[in-house]
Structure formats: C-alpha cells, structure tokens
Amino acid sequence: MSQLLQHLINGLASGTIYALVALGYTMVYGVLKLINFAHGDVMMVGVYMGYATAFALGREAQRSLWGVVIIFAVAMGGCALLGFLIERFAYRPLREKPRLTALITAIGISFALSYGFQLDIGFLPGASPRAFPEVIVPTEWFIIGDRDVVVWNWQVISFLIAVTLMVTLQFLVYRTRFGKAMRAVSWDHRTAALMGIPTDRIIALTFMLSSALAAGAGLLYAIKDTSVSPLMGLYVGLKAFVAAVIGGIGNVPGAVVGALLLGLVEEFVVGYAASTWRDAVAFGFLILVLLVKPGGLFGRVAAEKV
C-alpha cells in the first residue's frame, strides 16, 4: 500500500509538469487548429534562460524566494516574447495557407531551435548536457512509516506552482474578456473578426501565454531531473502532445486529465515493470484511448463542432 502511495505521488508530480506543456498545445490548437510542434523547444529555451539567470544571480541569491521568482519571471517572460515572434513572423503569414504548410513550418522551427542550441557559438550552450542549479535544495518534507513514503519539497512546490498556473489559466479562459475573445476566435476566427474582436492580438497573446506556461513547466522539469540539454524539448514536448491528444486536443480540462493519467501510467510502469517499457506503454495507452474514443477522453464535443 505504501509503495502504491509513493508511486501515486511521483506520478502526479510528473503529470502536472506534462499538463503545463500540454495546455500550450491545446490553446494553440484551439485558436488556430495548428499543432505547434515547436512548443517543446520553446520550453527548452525557457530552461536555458532560467539556467543563465540562476548563474547570473549566484549560488546564494538563486536559492532565495526572490531568486526563484526572478528565475521564473525571466524565463517565462523571455519565452512569451519568443512565442510572440514565432507567431508574428512564422505562423501569421501562413494563416490562410493550407494547414500542411504551417505544420511543416512548425517542424522547421522545432529543428532550428533544438539543433541551433547545440552550436557552441556565442551565447548558445552547445550540445553537452548541463546540470541545472539547485534553486530548490532537495529536502524531505513528509515521511510516512519507516521511509515507506517520502514526499520531497520540490514535489510539493512543483505541484503547487503547476496547479496555481493551471487555475490562473482556467480563470483567464473562462472568467475574463480575453478568455471570451479567445474562445470566440477558437470557434471561428473570421466571424470573430467581423464582430470586432482583434483576432491577431488574441492569437498573439495566446502564443505568448502558452509559451510562458511551457517555460514554467520546463523549469519545474529541470528542477526535478537536474540535467538539461538542447534536445530535452523534443522528448518532453512529445510526451505532452500525447497527453493533450489523450485528453482531447483543444480541450483545456482534457489536457490536464490526460497529462495526469500519462504521468501515473509512466510511474506505475517504472515502479512495477521496467523503466525501458515506459515510452512504449505511454504510446500504447494513447492508441488504446484513441481506439475507444477517437477524439480523446474529452474531445467528443469539439469533434462535433468541427
């Protein structure tokens, strides 16, 4: 029982990180019907921004509360700007083109970021993996029994940060004028423009918001796994995309549920089978869900609207 509880805690901690990235895929798909395959690489850029900021602050400052806030603010703000630039100069000129054109462009941006960051030129980090600074010193906060269940501080903090960001996003989407405009653009951006909604601005803000969430998720992932590399965005981004499809691409609550389920499935596979099976089982779980519900767990309504 204690082993099951430990795996539940670990799975939820991983799932919340996947959820933040999956929400970015879902938001962009919702407003443009575009799979932004560069999203995971934007997350990677945010991690390196946080890495550079942490080293600029120094060991003592980076571990303080304000140091952590500054690291997250710089990374999320920088990625928001990057998301705006990608939307403005890569996707917006292709908005009325066939969707395949935008999809190929997204793959090209992904490769440009992931392989461009492997160049050891100027400010680029190079291909070698690096250890992310311990901005949150690992500490055992809760111990149940004879160390049968251990909850670490980074798990609690990551979970709280992720939940706070998701609740804030939910509030923005369903309780603000921006969220109402975004849902209108998602329904039909041409009709929304005729109704006076600034569609270009809403889409740009959506990209900025999704990119900022990706940066936050990337920092939480780096704090958990400590090792960062230019190709980390491809791996985490693909997992988050799987989570978004499981929940129903374009559905915000579905992305969260899909990510939590994926995190739990991976953790149970690692705990009760073998870690080498983790990726295969994750994609097998995706195939199983799509066989039962082709639109994803919560994708039925969205499929009917289309």
Of 11, 31, 13, 43, the C-alpha closest to 199 is 31
Strand partners, 207: none
Identify the structural domains of the chain with CATH numbers, from first to last.
2-292 (1.10.3470)
Position 88 confidence tier, pLDDT thresholds 50, 70, 90: very high
Per-residue confidence at 168, pLDDT binned at 50, 70, 90? confident
Nearest CA among 41, 72, 79 for reference residue 238: 41
Average pLDDT over residues 191-208: 92
Q: Whole-angstrom Cα distance, residue 96 to residue 92? A: 8
- The DSSP annotation for 51-79 comes to HHHHHHH-HHHHTSHHHHHHHHHHHHHHH
> The pTM is what?
0.90
Instruction: Look at residues 7, 6, 3, 38 and name the one whose alpha carbon lies nearest to residue 21.
Output: 38
For residue 306, is pLDDT > 50? Answer: no
pLDDT of 114 > 70? The answer is yes
